[in-house]
A and B are shown apart, each in its own frame.
Chain A
């Protein structure tokens, strides 16, 4: 039996929901960051599934650009995390409650 398009969409929805729940549950900045990466990957799976089932390469180009954005986000986000840790000596988001350093 061949996997259907809906299987991939369901898997993507499950992964995205787990990532969103993780962002809400977690209190550690790095854990929240990893859950955001999980959500990005779930969306990538949707793009590739549609691209493959509709014979259109545009979805895979979108995935390529999403990956670039994720790499840039990782660099800048981890820089922000290091700065916050240096100023507050904690990675707990409850303690970083004001934007001023």
Chain B
């Protein structure tokens, strides 16, 4: 019975994973990735790990994929165009090497399956929320605290990276985005009515500010 569920979820996971790679629009790939996450959550349930299954759905299929889909929508990603293979003679070599890898994996799998594995104990509490929580807050308290530090760093880093604007000094390049310029950066005489300038690209920002001849940073080699 559990074998049938395993095969069902495993097939769904592999199919969705292939779809992630094959789809050329990232949004379809993201939807397929949600399928992979959900089927992996089902597999975690067959492994008697209900807590990890729930966290998988909430964190991966919920939070992370919402973030990814949000960025795809935000950036208006275009479809990846079909490219011609640059080294077509390597296709044969790749297929051969993949066959060798597959044979090796099957060989190892055969011998792993031949080794006896002790049967699972249905009465064990491994995987329940109680066992995970009690271990997490006793033996593994230090990794848990380091994790909180990591999340703090991620918050600060993401805010710093995605922030628009910033000060424009004379020897930095032009920064695109919404900016309120300090009046004395561009003009030594302070102007009374400083207006925010909203631009989208570096070139547009340079043109609006009238400093199109200032070299952009990526050209300064």
Query: Chain A residues in contact with chain B, CB under 8 A?
Result: 1-11, 13-15, 18-19, 21-22, 25-28, 30-31, 33-35, 37-38, 41, 44-45, 48-49, 51-53, 55-58, 60-61, 63-65, 67-76, 78-83, 85-87, 89, 91, 98, 100-101
A19 CB to nearest B CB, Å = 7
A82 lies within 8 A of B121 (CB) = no
Which residue in A15, A31, A63 is a CB contact (below 8 Å) of B52?
A: A63
Contact A57 B120, beta carbon cutoff 8 Å: no
Interface residues of B in 60-91 (CB under 8 A from A): 60, 63-64, 67-68, 71-72, 74-75, 77, 80, 83
Q: Is the interface of B mostly helix, strand, loop or mixed?
A: helix
User: How far, in whole Å, are A30 and B59 apart by their CA atoms in the complex?
Assistant: 18
Query: Does B96 sit at the interface, judged by CB under 8 A?
Result: no
Rounded to whole angstroms, the CA-CA distance of A100 and B56 in the bound complex is 36
Q: Is B218 a contact of A98 with CB atoms below 8 Å?
A: yes
- B120 partner, pick from A8, A10, A52, A82, beta carbons under 8 A: A52
A75 touches B67 (CB 8 A): yes
Chain A, interface SS category: helix
B42-54 Cβ-contact flags toward A at 8 Å (1 or 0): 0110111101100
- For A3, the chain B residues whose CB sits under 8 A away are 2-3, 6, 46
Are B14 and A15 in contact, CB atoms less than 8 angstroms apart? Answer: yes
Q: How far is the CA of A6 from the CA of B108 in the complex (A)?
A: 10
Q: A10 and B105 in contact (CB under 8 A), knowing A52-B47, A52-B48, A58-B135?
A: yes
Chain B interfacial residues counted at CB < 8 A: 76
CA distance A67 to B46 in the complex (A): 20
B195 contacts A by Cβ under 8 Å: no
List chain A residues, Cβ under 8 A from B72: 30
On whether the beta carbons of A56 and B126 are closer than 8 Å, the reply is yes
Q: 27 A-B contacts, Cβ less than 8 Å apart?
A: A2-B3, A3-B2, A3-B46, A5-B112, A8-B47, A18-B14, A27-B83, A30-B26, A30-B30, A30-B77, A34-B29, A35-B20, A49-B47, A51-B127, A57-B131, A60-B52, A60-B126, A63-B52, A70-B59, A70-B60, A71-B64, A74-B64, A75-B158, A78-B158, A79-B162, A81-B75, A82-B71
- CB-defined contacts of A63 to chain B, threshold 8 Å: 52
Asked whether, in the complex, the Cβ of A55 is within 8 Å of the Cβ of B154, the reply is: no
